[in-house]
Every structure is written in C-alpha cells, then in structure tokens.
Amino acid sequence: MTLLHTTKAGENDRAKSKEELLRELTVLRRRLAELEALDEERQRLKQTLRRAYDALEEQIEERTLELVRANEQLRQEIEERKRTEEELQRLKEYLENVIDNSVDAIGIVDRHGRFILWNRRAAEIYGYQFEELSGKTAFDLYADQEELRRMLAILQQNGVVREYEIAMKKKDGSIVPMDISISLLKENGRTIGSVCVARDLSERKINEQELKRAKDELSRYSQDLERQVRERTRAITSILRNTPAVVYLKDRHGRYKLVNPRFEELYGLSNESVQGKTDRELFSRAMSAQFIAHDLKVLQEGRALQVEEQINLPDGPHTYLSVKFPIYNEQNEPEGLCGISTDITELKKAQEQLRLLSGSIMASQEKERTAIARELHDELGQILTAMRMDAVWLSERLKGCDEQAVARAQTLCELIDQTIDEVRGLAIRLRPGMLDDFGLVDALDWFCKDFAQRTGITCKFKASEPIVVDDLVATAAYRIAQEALTNVARHSFATRVMVSLEIKNGFFSLTVKDNGRGFQPQHLDDSLCLGLAGMRERAALVGGNLELHSRPGKGTRVNFRLPLNQRSLIV
C-alpha cells in the first residue's frame, strides 16, 4: 500500500509544475525545521525533566536521610525519656524509702494544712496512721497555739523554720517536746504547701538531764581528783625535797630531766644547769661510765635494777645503793628511767666491821673446836685408854675366881672401846686433824666416806685437780660441805649425793648436789634456818657467795663460789 501511495505521489509530482514543487519543497523544509525545533525542544524538555527528576531524587534522598536522622533522634529521645522516667522512678522509690525509713517524722501538707504525705516514723511518734488524719490539719497537732503563731510568723517571714522547739500533741493526748523544721513548697512563686520534719526530743531531754548529771558528777570527780593530785604533788614534792636519797629522772638518751635538792646539794649542781645534759658532761669518766652502763642495762632489760655505785665526793669515796627502774609511755615503751640512790657508806663500813667480827668469832670458834678436839683426843682419850688397860688387867686377874666379875670387866672394856670411838669421832667432827695435816681435798674425801658409812647414803667426792688454799678458805669450804651434808641426812630423803671441787671460769667452786625431794627456796626463811645462814656467812667472810638451787622432786644443789683473784686462794 505504501508502495502504491509512493507510486501515485510520484505520478502526481510529475504532473505538478516546478513552482508548485518548489513551494511544496519550501513548505517541507519549513515543516522539517519546525520538526527539528520541536525535537530540540523535546530534547530540552527531556533534559529539563531529567534534571527535575534528578533534583527530585536528591530531595527525596535528603528528605529520607532527614527522616532517618529524625527517626534516630526520636528513638534516642524516647530512650532518654525512658531512662529519665526510670531514673525518676528509682529516685522516687529512693526518696520514698528515705522518707519512709527516716529517723525523723516527715509530713507534707497542702496550703490549707491537709496532709498529703505521712511517713512511718511520724505514725510511730504521733500515733496516727495516714488514714486517720483525714479531716485533720497539721495545726491540730500543736499543743500551744500561741507558740504556733510565733513559729508561723517566722516561716512566713523567712520561708523556712529550722529546729524550732515546740510542744506537740500525740494521739493518746500526751504532750511531748518536738524539734520542728518546716520548708515552704512553691510553684510559679505561689505557695502550694510545706514539708515538715519533726524529731522527738523526749529521749534527748532525758539524755541532756543525764549528761548534766554526768557533767556535775564529772566536775565533782575532777575537783576531787585535782585535790588528790595537789595533795600527792605536795607529798611527792615534800619527799623529793626532804629525802636524804638522791632522786633523778632521765630520758632514754641519758639526758637529765629532773633532779631533787639532795642531788643539787651533793654534786653542787642546780636543777636548771643539769637539764638536758648527760653524765659524760657532768661527771668524771669513771663515774659517768658506771652510771651509763647501769642505765643501759635498765633500758635494755626493761626491769628494775639495784646496784652499788662508787661516787667520789670532797670528803672521800662514798658507796651508794642505787635503785633504777624504767618509765614507760602510753605505747608501753621505755621512754626514760628514774634513779634513787642512798648513801650506804656507813652501812658498808658497819658490814665490814661485822664481817671482821664474825670472822674473828668463827676463827675463835675454830680455835676452841681445835682445843676441845685436842683435849678430847689427848686427855680424855688417854684416860679412857688407861681405864681400858685397868679393865683388861682386872679381867685377867679375876679369871678362874669370879666369872661374873670377868664378864662385867669385859663389858666395861667394850663400853670403853665404844666411848673411845665416839670421842675420836667427836674430836674429828669438831676439827679434823686431816684438814690441818693433809689439806681440804683429803679432808673432804675422808668426810664423804665417813658420811656414807654413818648414814647409808651413797656419797661420792670428786676434785678436778690438786687445790691448795689457806686455812680460812679451807675451813669455810669444809664447814659448808659439812653443813650441806648434814642437811641432806636430816631433810632430803636422798639416796645419792655428789660433792665436787673444781676451778672453772675463773672461780674456785664447791658443789654439793643430792637427788632428794627438794623444796621451794623462795619459801625458805633464813632466819629460821641457821645452818643455811651460817653457810652464807662463811662464804661471805672469805669473799665468796653461796647459791642454793632446788625444786620439789628434783633434788637440791648448794654451790660455794670464790673468785680466783682472792688472796686466800693459792693454786
């Protein structure tokens, strides 16, 4: 059909004139230009539409992002509001818990005094439950309306009332003092109510009365204590001022803190001049050395010490008996010491004279013992020997004549022999000749054997080496051993005893040790035990000392020790 149309058009075109064809061509060109312009417009519109579409898409994307952001912000705001609501709920529960468990009564009222909140403590104090307050106002709980008006005037003026003491009425009608604090609640500058906190002062009033009573009692006690302190201070001051003893206080570094008047008088130093000074700064090297050594021992051992100290004074050397003891602080640590020194020079002289007198008496006793022993041995012994010889002669002469008289004569001989043995033993115990002839070691050896034979107690003697001492020491050691063994036989119920002589650690030592029942030495009274007192005295006379050790069931040990530098010892 198109082909037919084209064919027909061609036929028509051939039939047309040139001018017609030119006109149609012009029209066609114009139409083509219009079509091209229309196409360009269409393309432009298409591009405009594309730009508008792109802009719209951008706007949609932006709005979408804005919506996403708004949605996220809204979600965050919702979560924040939830958290805020939860926090407010927790805060509300916390405040309700605080209010409900407060030790004070808390009430909240509106502007007309009607109760909005009433905590548990308020119900306990006033006796009203919250439901029972319906129809009541806070003003009904005040006992003194005039006092209430004064308090409300202060509240209206200041907007707050703090710790106002006022009388309140409880449910049971009792009137009690209360400590009231009130704060106004406002909204947009308008008062909508108030919060009241009340505390029951009944117990506090009782406590205040008790406190006042206690303060009065404390005041009386303090006054009495001050009086006692003054009296004791006066007494101590009087003692320090008038005592003949030297008294002083030192700190832990040996610095003087206080001295009494006797110290000032003795050394010619004032209390102020010795403050903070040490013994090295005040006294000679020899004097300060002994003071410091004793002070250090007291502080190190933490206990009292009693020592003799030699002090050189203008009239010569003096001996002082010093008692030193530590002074403790609140932490029970020694912070210093106190010393009390008493002049015992005259006492020492008297003791020395007494020692010399005792030594002279004991020496005289030993001489008397020796003389008696010699007389017993020589005179009485000779007489008994002569009597025995006569009794033997008489027995021989009467044989065959009078057998009864012969028997009596023989009995007399036996009695004389027994008496001679007893006289010999008595003489030996009074003063063994062996001690003078052979020395201490042989005398003790013989005495131990004789003791074992007489008592049936096993007695062993041991000497570390030959020891030679002068007569005074030998006699003291022998008498101490003799008395110790006598005590063993009388009191110990021992089965074995050991006597030993030795030189050890610079000391001459005599030890008597038994396995008897023992005793408590601290329960022993020297004044009632003359034997022990005699042993101690003999030891002291030669410059030694006697130690006694015993425990119940553990036996007893007596030890006599004498320093080797004593002139009485010769090795």
3-state secondary structure 454-492: HHCCEEEEEECCCCEECHHHHHHHHHHHHHHHHHHHHHH
Cα separation, 118 vs 21, in Å, equals 113
What pLDDT does 210 receive? 83
Identity of the amino acid at 441: V
Please report the beta strands in 92-237, taking only residues with DSSP state E, as ranges in sequence order. Answer: 105-110, 115-118, 160-169, 175-187, 190-200
pLDDT at 360: 62
DSSP string, 440-456: HHHHHHHHHHHHHHHH-
Q: Given this model, what pLDDT does residue 2 score?
A: 46
CA end-to-end distance (rounded Å), the chain = 174
- pLDDT, residue 523, reads 64
Residue 429's pLDDT is 62
pLDDT given for residue 498 in this prediction: 93
Burial status of residue 363 (CB atoms within 10 A of its CB: 0-12, 13-18, 19 or more): middle
311 alpha carbon, distance to own chain's centre? 38
Q: How far apart are CA 107 and CA 118, in angstroms?
A: 5
Detail the DSSP E strand segments found in 329-402. 334-343
Q: Which residues, other chains included, contact 401 with Cβ-Cβ below 8 Å and sequence gap of 6+?
A: none
Contact 394, 411 (CB under 8 A): no
CA distance 330 to 154: 53
Q: Are 513 and 555 in contact (CB under 8 A)?
A: yes
Q: Is 569 helix (H, G, I), strand (E, B) or coil?
A: strand
Interatomic CA distance for residues 339 and 306, integer angstroms = 10
Those residues of the chain that have pLDDT short of 70 are 1-16, 351-382, 384, 421, 423-437, 465-466, 523-530, 565-571
Strand pairing report for 468-469 and 496-504: unpaired
Rounded CA gap, 194 and 154, in Å?
A: 14
Order of strands across the sheet that contains 556-563: 458-463, 496-504, 507-514, 556-563, 545-550
Report the SS3 class of residue 166: strand
Residue 178, classified by CB atoms within 10 Å of its CB into exposed (0-12), middle (13-18) or buried (19+), is buried
Q: With beta carbons less than 8 A apart as the criterion, state whether 67 and 59 touch.
A: no
Rounded CA-CA distance 343/393 in Å is 74
Contacts of residue 296, defined as CB under 8 A and 6 or more positions apart, other chains included, come to: none
d(CA 16, CA 23): 11
Q: What is the DSSP string of 47-76?
A: HHHHHHHHHHHHHHHHHHHHHHHHHHHHHH
Helices (H) and strands (E) in the chain, counts: 16, 17
CB 168 within 8 A of CB 143: yes
Instruction: For residue 257, give the H/E element and its range.
Output: strand 256-259
Tokens 């502007």 belong to residue = 111
Alpha helical stretches, state H, 243-284: 261-267, 271-274, 279-282
Q: CB–CB of 402/410 below 8 Å?
A: no
Which ranges of 102-200 would DSSP assign to H, the alpha helix? Answer: 120-126, 145-158
pLDDT at 3: 44
The alpha helices in 102-201, defined as continuous H runs, are 120-126, 145-158
Query: Closest by alpha carbon to 550, among 531, 530, 525, 524?
Result: 524
pLDDT of residue 528: 43
| 252: helix, strand or coil | coil
- Length reported for the chain: 571
Q: 499: closest CA among 554, 444, 457?
A: 444
| Contact criterion met (CB below 8 Å) for 490 and 538 | no
